A = this chain, B = another copy of it.
């Protein structure tokens, strides 16, 4: 026979914390605490298996009835009270509890077991009729809400009427107050016993009206209604969407915990509270939390009374209202329980407790959520305390949380006015005056002003302005738009794709539409040049005015943890770096090479872009070569400096990738200016721009397609790379250049590219020291992935360009998807933004195909990834599993990638997932 019910109490439990799959997180914690001999009110847990049967058959399993009866009988015996017995009425709480913490499900029903008779009995037994009536009316409202489908607001009015009568009795004219004011003037505690009696009658009448049935008097009926509500809540819409987003299988189900009530609201010797075994903000090892005397957990949530600190050290000056001071015995017990649980679970705990008549009861324990900073400190200190080993410590910190440590963040205590939400394109917070052009950003920044560059979108022409600004805000573009990629590369805060903004360059204003919760527009705010705003790139928020920020500060613990991570890690981490400065930054963050050096950004310097434009406007090969020759020395010098910075670490240089039209101006005035400068007619220049126009530039004449048409461009770049390598080698330095071909689609393209490279290489070698280099390709088209076996015949390495691979595989333009992708993610159609975290099922499966086929041809082919996904922890785990040799990401994400790669390694070794506590 299936066992569906697991009792706990009297120091014994049928379950334990290893059976979270059966008991859920809460049930497992209660069982474990009971077994440890901690004071836990007894009860029983109905397993997730019962929920699964219920979901599938819409019926409770047959064996469940007798099992619950038996567990209930045991519970009654244990506490010496009985369901429905007025002389010693057993009251219970009923709570859901799934394997993973999951919002959206039914939470808690308290005081179950109350009816007319037991309420009276409770009044007598506690000698406190007001307490009993208050518990009863709370129970009716709570139960009706979750089990009978009568929503809470139905009851508010009846309660407010009672309040009004109380107010009148006090001489206050309640009719002139709105609900909120009334509730402040007449608190729950002010409602008299008689009025509570009226409220109970009124509540029951409401239930009768709404459901056509009387509120159940039979405690057993109440209990089954509650259990059914818990199981039903597993399949409500919010819960399903949440599961889909977090990859929680529907088959897990939720457990249901039934536990004898203890009361924190039985007078001044009673209390309720929550505590952490360490400070969840800082990680400091001391009991941290809040409590309320004479209260139930519900009161803390309702927020009407302000909770008090648990530690004496944290009380306001002149106060002595900490738990430590008011109930020193209970406090001491709580501290010792916390320590015991930490030792037992080898992790920081989040505790819920109730004190009834001076006796402390534990209601919940679980691994505590914590800030990135706390996670690092706790993990490192626990290693020193001997609780965990170094590898375990590495698993304990969510790599994504390192963003908080590495970037300035908004002061959490500061007041702020949210203006708009966009995409969290690059973390960090910044304030400044709004400017609408890169030139003005630079000018004002040079004059010492802090500015935020606000654009519809950014383009390579804006880079100097992005450098100068404190932060970047765009109305368009997704997580891999130009603004987002460049900002992350610079480690600069950026909110992108903020669609509420209407930027007007002419009038130098931005109109911010305000939306209500349903997404309907509710008026707008107009900001003008010079107005101050604050952006939080980590959250994607835009605030009015200057919100104070807190600077990042890295601790010794952080370095220690990262050292352990590097010890554990096997997959290499490189950085995407286009300049010597980027390269130096990357090395500072521990990058083991450059995985992507984009050469196009190098062409935007004034002198170079002119030559570039000459090249684009040239009519024949000779003229193109002449223009390219002007760029060569600059390009060579770029590489010389990058090679020097990288001191022999590999440097993967991608040859020119974007379509040529990106190098030509689009605005009339700029075109006229350029025509004059180039000494060509405006008409001719316009014609060339028109000729180069593309409907879908993403799928256009770019990447190595450019070099099929104009081989001389790549020839110049290869020459610059190899001459630079020769020069730096001659200085006595080691150099490891890797020449990378973008957008390859066929083997034959790579053959042609290799011919260009070999020809130049022979010419450079003939002039001096031969330089060794590797020749490889991006895998960024689905075709390249499926034909990887052929490409590997020519390429010595593959680098997965997962941005473009995502665009092509999913048919999603990263610059346009901002209009509908958020709805996809919010609506659960996609689990995550696929430009942030790799689409494992789709794009990922092509990555795996390419790895397999590439290695089939060339078993030692070097494999890496250089898309933005290289800095996303989930994606890094996937790449580790797919067997890549390295990931490459923006310098400011290298630390995150190092930790994620280490976790992937440790988790694979230990056979479980990383960052379990985050």
Contact = CB atoms under 8 A, between A and B. Distances in A.
Interface of A: 244, 502, 520, 620, 687, 694-701, 705, 708-709, 743, 745-746, 748-749, 752, 780-783, 786-787, 804, 807-813, 815-817, 819-820, 823-824, 827-830, 839, 841-843, 845-846
B787 A696 contact: no
A732 to B, nearest CB: 42
Given A699-B811, A811-B745, A830-B746, A823 B783 contact: no
Contacts of A696: 696-699, 807, 813, 815-816
A520, A816, A842, A843: which has the most chain B beta carbons within 10 Å? A816
B695 A827 contact: no
A709 B839 CA distance: 21
Nearest to A744: B811
Contacts of A816: 694-697, 699-701
Contacts of A502: 687
A824 B744 CA distance: 13
A709 B823 contact: yes
Copies in the complex: 2
Contacts of A811: 698-699, 743, 745, 780-783, 804, 808
A807 B816 CA distance: 17
A754 to B, nearest CB: 13
12 contacts: A694-B816, A695-B815, A696-B807, A696-B815, A700-B819, A709-B823, A745-B842, A748-B829, A780-B811, A783-B810, A787-B842, A808-B809
Contacts of A782: 782, 808-811, 842, 846
A824 B783 contact: no
Contact of A701 (B695, B697, B745, B820): B820
Contact of A699 (B807, B842, B846): B807
Give the top 7 A-B pairs by smallest Cβ distance, nearest first: A699-B813, A783-B842, A696-B813, A782-B782, A700-B816, A695-B815, A781-B811
A783 B807 contact: no
A819 B695 CA distance: 12
Contacts of A841: 786-787
Contacts of A845: 786
Contacts of A694: 813, 815-816
Nearest to A745: B810
Contacts of A787: 841-842
Contacts of A687: 502
Contacts of A819: 700-701, 709
A696 B820 CA distance: 14
Given A696-B816, A699-B807, A699-B817, 19 more contacts: A695-B697, A695-B813, A696-B813, A697-B813, A699-B699, A701-B816, A705-B820, A708-B824, A743-B811, A745-B810, A745-B812, A748-B828, A748-B830, A749-B829, A782-B809, A782-B810, A786-B841, A808-B809, A808-B811
Nearest to A806: B783
B829 A752 contact: yes
B695 A786 contact: no
Contacts of A828: 748
Interface centre among A244, A804, A811, A816 (most CB of B within 10 A): A811
A829 B696 CA distance: 22
Contacts of A520: 620
A314 to B, nearest CB: 47
Contacts of A830: 746, 748
A502 B812 CA distance: 32
Contacts of A781: 809-811
B708 A820 contact: yes
B843 A709 contact: no
A217 B278 CA distance: 102
